[in-house]
A and B are shown apart, each in its own frame.
Chain A
């Protein structure tokens, strides 16, 4: 099964990465990535730019209306994701718990919809 591990951030997380702990945190991130690569569970992942770079797009009566900034101002924002394929949601939760930022900000583990299905 495939899961997206949605990593939530805020301004503090970035400060943390720039600070004295930053190097250790990045090393931890790399260690988790290396382990997921070796196990064949890592499918992909990206980090997103700061939410201030966001454009929010709506189409109203056929006309795109574009506003600067994210849809909702929130304390936490969606900062990036890991895509993994693993045996169960329990294993995906275990991976999320090993992600260093989980000690500061939450991750969400969401199953990805499968294009196939069983007859009922």
Chain B
């Protein structure tokens, strides 16, 4: 419970500090230290009456110590006159009023700055907005802590000097899209891991949902944020059905739908229905709408494939790409028959040598009753994938065809 509270307060405390002292990277370190101090002290001493003020006070003290020793060092090294501590307090009067919501959004958009690589955006967002430690992030991404620490400090160095303020209105939509993509990547990392042996990584899916809920509170009018949250909820609702007892992948058509999380589905469906009704369509809304069609079918046979096909058609128009074309080909196969699906595959560019193309081809060939060709395509897909559970699944499909 303490950890949850700390993670919720982390971006708010950081927002207050950055607004007060101006330097994102030193403030971020100070907040991490304050969070660590709290996680050591609070379980024994109890949660302070004003936990946020406590964290701000401790982080500020660390920061001031840091600045003082920095000033002393500079004085020693350069023999320069004292650098006024007040310089660090580039704060306008009145800037202290509660503006936590705006600050957290500004913080998220800063961590998802387009000047950073996706790997850095993810690491920095999870630490500064999610309140995770470097060690936790490193273990979730299966890299050594030193590697993750480097990514974070390099990311901070890259955005050093960028002002802590909301992007100009004309840049905001584009910056929101980048932040959504970062959260989407975090979710995917956790979701794909849920079939692997490493359960710690699946917490990334929960963290992505938590942060997307936060983003939704910060930007309630953004239909794509609603679409993204719906997509995550509808996908994550299948979590316990998508792997078998031995960790093997269970395809959508064969999942035990009684294991699907009905509450998550209801929330996701409501979100996407409202978003679709209210404004311009976006790719996350459409992907969520497709996930909702699957979620609402009582069994695989009852899936409204013409509806899925129509939605993929729309998606292809606003966000074309080989993955969308591939998924559309599956829907074509289900609506018009496997031959039409295979024809649709032939038109896809940019997926040569990709295991997903061969896996879909195999599936359509199997539907068409071409067992030998289907088996060969499954085997080819199994060789091409770099995922262990996918490889096991594809080998198993090939073996079933004798």
Interface residues of A (CB under 8 A from B): 1-2, 37-44, 85, 87, 111-120
Contacts and interface: CB of A to CB of B under 8 A. Distances in A.
B391 A116 contact: no
Q: Which of A38, A39, A113, A114 has the largest count of B CB atoms less than 10 A from its CB?
A: A114
9 contacts: A38-B150, A39-B150, A41-B147, A44-B144, A85-B143, A111-B386, A116-B389, A120-B390, A120-B394
Contacts of A44: 144
A119 B249 contact: yes
A38 B154 contact: yes
Interface of B: 117-120, 123, 141-144, 146-148, 150-152, 154, 189, 192-198, 201, 238, 242, 249-252, 255, 359, 363, 385-391, 393-394
Given A114-B192, A119-B238, A1 B386 contact: yes
Chain A interface, >50% SS class: loop
A87 B117 contact: yes
A43 B198 contact: no
A39 B141 CA distance: 16
Given A38-B154, A116-B389, 19 more contacts: A2-B142, A37-B150, A40-B120, A85-B141, A85-B143, A87-B118, A115-B197, A115-B198, A115-B389, A116-B189, A116-B192, A116-B196, A117-B249, A118-B249, A118-B387, A118-B390, A119-B242, A119-B250, A119-B252
A120 B242 CA distance: 10
Contact of A117 (B143, B148, B151, B192): B192
A61 B194 CA distance: 38
A88 B152 CA distance: 20
Contact of B119 (A87, A111, A112, A113): A87
Contacts of B152: 40
A85 B144 CA distance: 11
A6 B389 CA distance: 25
Contacts of B144: 43-44
Given A44-B144, A85-B143, A117 B150 contact: no
A40 B387 CA distance: 23
